Amino acid sequence: MKEKLFENKYGYFTENGKEYVIKTPQTPKPWINVISNGDYGIVISNTGSGYSFRTHASLNRITRWNQDLIKDDFGKYIYVRDNKKKIFWSIPWKPVCSDYENFEAIYGFGYSIFKTKYYNITFELTLFVPLKDPLEIWILKIINEDKKKKDLSLFTYLEWNLGSAPDWHREFHRTFIETYFNKEKNYIYSRKRLWEIPNEKGEHWNKDWDYTAFHWVNYPVSEAEGSKEEFIGMYRDLVSPKALIEGRLTNTFGKWEDDIASLKIDIKLDPCEEKILIFSLGAVKNNSEENIEKILEKYNTKEKVEKALGDVKKMWEDLLSGFYVETKDPAFDIMNNYWLKYQAISGRLWARTAYYQLGGAYGFRDQLQDSQIFLYLDPKKTFDQIKLHAKHQFSDGYVYHWWHPISKIGHRNEISDNRLWLPFLVIRYLKNTDDWSILKEIIPYIDSGEGTIYEHCYKAIDLSLKKFSPRGLPLIGNGDWNDGMNAVGTEGKGESIWLGHFLYGILLDFSYVAEKEKDFDRAEYYRERAKELKEAINKYGWDGEWYIRAFKDNGEPIGSKSCEEGKIFLNAQSWAILNDSAEENKKEKAYESMKKYLFREYGPLLLYPAYTKPNPQIGYLTRYAPGVRENGGLYTHAGCWAVLAVCKVKDKIAYEIYKSFMPIYRGMNPDLYQVEPYVTCGNVDGPDSKYFGRGGWSWYTGSATWYFIAGIEGILGIIPTWEGLKISPNIPENWDEVKVKRLFRGKIYEIYIRRKGKFEIFLDGKKINGDTINYQGPKNPVFVEVNI
């Protein structure tokens, strides 16, 4: 019997938290897994619905998907037909939604398994994406547990998307798709003669889709189908398609269909007999069947696919084990040892897509922040991300707000914080690794010329220093971190206090970097500007009890007691504390105010009270329903910064605040929370919503990495600084011991924190002065004992 951890009505963790088992297909909202190898990916829910893509889920989706989180009925399915009884069902649950005798969806790192039992036949379907190739494998084990022989047919079903094909343009797009069936080798393949990506000459709608998609099985295919109309039948649906009622496919393929793929496999099973089938789906480069066959050759036996699955499991095990923690709270350990890292890497950095947002692009600020997760595991990968983003900067310091891999199209705009995340990340990288050589690396600009990483960073900062108002505050432009504040400064006058706090920290840290680079004038200049900025923030940005968030083009404040709605904003307080841009007497007050007005049952609210009517001078955040997303809910990403601020002021409530939006604990009340208990969600409805406490936008959220950082640098208080690793724990009273294994500057630090009533640190057995460790000797790992 497997141990069940944090079991709720719908599921539980097992394998020490490494797997999540969902007990029913009918969770309050689809609970998904996002599986990716950094190029090919699948998103799959517990109903079995979802989609597949290569490189970019929007521009290069292989299968069709409709974003309908209520029906959740678009996916790649397998039907089973009992040919004697003439009944059929599906594995997993959708589309037929049978009343199984047994159901389990098991999510692990890099794989999902569905176990179902119906009519005394057990099915175990394992889906995964091999480490290096652009395909997914489905291993299907069937066991006949009945006393009678079974005469079954399996029918797969999926709809081809092949590129980017918005559903409102379906009739247009389908005329460019062609499908074929290779009966001898058991695979269907498909191509598309149009792709909405500009060609080499920059012309639109004049390019082939660069790939060939395929769907294969390792069994003889008795019949196959390429036509949706033939499969479903006019005016029917996937619940009772014609093909299953009649038990046959028509082998219709070509250039004239509404294109799907279905393979029919006939199987006879004796009592107790077990069979294993292997299916695959993928997309190879070019118009070449040879490339398909090469890839099939690599994954065409049970041994080969089991080995490939083993490799995937091992890769995740190795990667995630780079950081390890053991505390008194297993929920904390499960999140930080496994799921947050997995979510950040598989979901945010590699797949860049999920259910509430069908993505694929890179956000300049987004994936940079996400890549901090690799500082704990494999910092070279953080540097790779820094280089990638630096390549999307212009020589005048501007950056793309986002850009699309494949089409390479990006968006340059006046959102004012994006470029500053580049130096922010470089600073974080340097503090963690002490590898200063990266500053010398030369990276091209997107328009012309090239520069060192150091130059890329100061160009970003210098541009921001130019964009100041006459009274010395940074201009907000078309928004800062908060995308929804997109109208505050469109006339070029609006100011941002949050951006001031953010920039202040960067100026001080980067002056340290400049000093190290012997760029003394710059170091001095940044310190000077930081000083002036702090003065301006505290002079104009202080509202009496808290910091104002921003000023509109017409000079009116946002986030002030004089406002009717949106009186106080979280980030304007948390970052004042985090970066010490608050004057001492104001810091405490700002903290007290954020605690008083914003800390609520399910996490710190982004602002309060929510806007109830659209305010065209602020932007679309005021247009969301009250309490939803940026409009006065918990915006989890920002909630993590609030936790870090609570920890910085050493308030005893730190763990309580952290826990207030911990997915595992919120998941213990799953009908209210609704979203997955194993990953963070982007937002939780605030008190002004009818559904206060409801989670949304799970998986694809910048909070994955930041919640990890809030746990490790905030709660455990193990903080990388210029001087070394600062230890300042904020652990709850009842934790008398914590063990941590953490990479820092090329060495593994094994840190033991024990409650002994007196603060002392022993590094490699020797007592040190102060609270910061920076081991210079030859040992690795390094042992650190911390008494608190």
CB 514 within 8 A of CB 450: no
Minimum Å gap between C-beta 423 and ligand GLC is 17
Minimum Å gap between C-beta 371 and ligand GLC is 14
Minimum Å gap between C-beta 481 and ligand GLC is 5
Among candidate residues 427, 332, 375, the one with its CA nearest the CA of residue 715: 332
Q: What are phi and psi of 463, to 5 degrees?
A: -65, -45
Q: Which stretch binds ligand GLC (CB under 6 A): 321-329, 465-473, 475-483, 707-715?
A: 475-483
Single out the residue of 483, 519, 556, 592 in contact with ligand GLC (rule: CB under 6 A).
483
Q: Which stretch binds ligand GLC (CB under 6 A): 329-337, 477-485, 524-532, 611-619?
A: 477-485
Minimum Å gap between C-beta 386 and ligand GLC is 17
Q: Based on CB atoms, which residue is closest to ligand GLC, 522 or 552?
A: 552
What is the Cα–Cα distance from 122 to 370, expressed in whole angstroms?
A: 40
Q: Based on CB atoms, which residue is closest to ligand GLC, 160 or 498?
A: 498
Q: Based on CB atoms, which residue is closest to ligand GLC, 529 or 629?
A: 629
Helices 520-540, 497-516: axis angle to 10 degrees equals: 160
CB 727 within 8 A of CB 761: yes
CB 150 within 8 A of CB 283: no
Minimum Å gap between C-beta 480 and ligand GLC is 8
Minimum Å gap between C-beta 482 and ligand GLC is 5
Q: Which of residues 744-783 bind ligand GLC (CB under 6 A)?
A: none
Q: Which of residues 703-742 bind ligand GLC (CB under 6 A)?
A: none
What is the Cα–Cα distance from 783 to 761, expressed in whole angstroms?
A: 11
Q: Based on CB atoms, which residue is closest to ligand GLC, 320 or 607?
A: 607
Minimum Å gap between C-beta 416 and ligand GLC is 12
Minimum Å gap between C-beta 682 and ligand GLC is 6
* DSSP tag of 518: T
Q: Which of residues 359-388 bind ligand GLC (CB under 6 A)?
A: 363, 365-366
Minimum Å gap between C-beta 357 and ligand GLC is 8
What is the Cα–Cα distance from 720 to 351, expressed in whole angstroms?
A: 29
Report strand pairing: 187-192 vs 150-163.
Answer: unpaired
DSSP SS3 for 466 = helix
Binding to ligand GLC by CB under 6 A, coded x per residue (else -) over 660-699, reads: ----------------------------------------
Q: Based on CB atoms, which residue is closest to ligand GLC, 77 or 569?
A: 569
What is the Cα–Cα distance from 443 to 439, expressed in whole angstroms?
A: 10
Q: Based on CB atoms, which residue is closest to ligand GLC, 278 or 607?
A: 607
Q: Based on CB atoms, which residue is closest to ligand GLC, 660 or 703?
A: 703
Does residue 348 belong to the site contacting ligand GLC (CB under 6 A)? no
CB 573 within 8 A of CB 546: yes
Q: Based on CB atoms, which residue is closest to ligand GLC, 482 or 496?
A: 482
Q: Which of residues 93-132 bind ligand GLC (CB under 6 A)?
A: none
Does residue 258 belong to the site contacting ligand GLC (CB under 6 A)? no
Residues 6+ apart with CB under 8 A from 129: 35, 36, 37, 40, 41, 42, 110, 135, 136, 137, 312
Q: What are phi and psi of 527, to 5 degrees?
A: -65, -40
Alpha helix positions (H), 547-621: 570-578, 584-598
* Total count of residues recorded for the chain: 788
* DSSP tag of 185: T
Minimum Å gap between C-beta 31 and ligand GLC is 21
CB 485 within 8 A of CB 619: yes
Q: Based on CB atoms, which residue is closest to ligand GLC, 37 or 353?
A: 353
Single out the residue of 17, 41, 50, 484 in contact with ligand GLC (rule: CB under 6 A).
484
Does residue 414 belong to the site contacting ligand GLC (CB under 6 A)? no
Q: Which of residues 144-203 bind ligand GLC (CB under 6 A)?
A: none
Q: Based on CB atoms, which residue is closest to ligand GLC, 382 or 631?
A: 631
Binding to ligand GLC by CB under 6 A, coded x per residue (else -) over 623-662, reads: -------x--------------------------------
Q: Based on CB atoms, which residue is closest to ligand GLC, 192 or 419?
A: 419
Angle at 546 between CA 630 and CA 692, to 5 degrees: 35
Residues 6+ apart with CB under 8 A from 139: 125, 126, 276, 277, 278, 302, 305, 306, 309
Token duo for residue 201:
């000459």
Element (H, E) at 521: helix 520-540
Minimum Å gap between C-beta 19 and ligand GLC is 28
Q: Which of residues 429-448 bind ligand GLC (CB under 6 A)?
A: none
Look-up: residue for tokens 């393979």? 263
Minimum Å gap between C-beta 483 and ligand GLC is 4
Minimum Å gap between C-beta 475 and ligand GLC is 18
Look-up: residue for tokens 């692990």? 108
Minimum Å gap between C-beta 781 and ligand GLC is 36
Q: Which stretch binds ligand GLC (CB under 6 A): 304-312, 358-366, 518-526, 740-748?
A: 358-366
Which bin fits 72, alpha (ψ -120 to 50), beta or left (φ > 0)? left
Minimum Å gap between C-beta 164 and ligand GLC is 20
CB 527 within 8 A of CB 501: no
Q: Based on CB atoms, which residue is closest to ligand GLC, 114 or 635?
A: 635
Token duo for residue 673:
């929370």
Minimum Å gap between C-beta 254 and ligand GLC is 42
* DSSP tag of 5: B
Does residue 702 belong to the site contacting ligand GLC (CB under 6 A)? yes
DSSP string, 557-577: EESSTTSSS--EEHHHHHHHH
CB 429 within 8 A of CB 386: yes
Minimum Å gap between C-beta 486 and ligand GLC is 9
Chain center to CA of 320: 16
What is the Cα–Cα distance from 251 to 484, expressed in whole angstroms?
A: 50
Does residue 482 belong to the site contacting ligand GLC (CB under 6 A)? yes
Measured CA distances, 380 to 329, 364, 432, 708 (Å): 31, 19, 11, 19
Bridge partners, residue 81, by sequence = 88, 153
Q: Which of residues 533-552 bind ligand GLC (CB under 6 A)?
A: none
Q: Which amino acid is at 729?
A: P
Single out the residue of 77, 374, 468, 481 in contact with ligand GLC (rule: CB under 6 A).
481
CB 226 within 8 A of CB 213: no
Q: Based on CB atoms, which residue is closest to ligand GLC, 188 or 710?
A: 710
Q: Which amino acid is at 741?
A: K
Q: Which stretch binds ligand GLC (CB under 6 A): 189-197, 271-279, 476-484, 646-654?
A: 476-484
Q: Based on CB atoms, which residue is closest to ligand GLC, 130 or 639?
A: 639
Minimum Å gap between C-beta 417 and ligand GLC is 8
Q: Which residue is nearest to ligand GLC (CB)?
A: 483
Q: Which stretch binds ligand GLC (CB under 6 A): 282-290, 381-389, 480-488, 659-667?
A: 480-488
Angle at 717 between CA 576 and CA 378, to 5 degrees: 100
CB 31 within 8 A of CB 118: no
Q: How many Cβ atoms are within 10 Å of 175's Cβ, its own excluded?
A: 15
Q: Which residues bind ligand GLC (CB under 6 A)?
A: 363, 365-366, 481-484, 630, 702
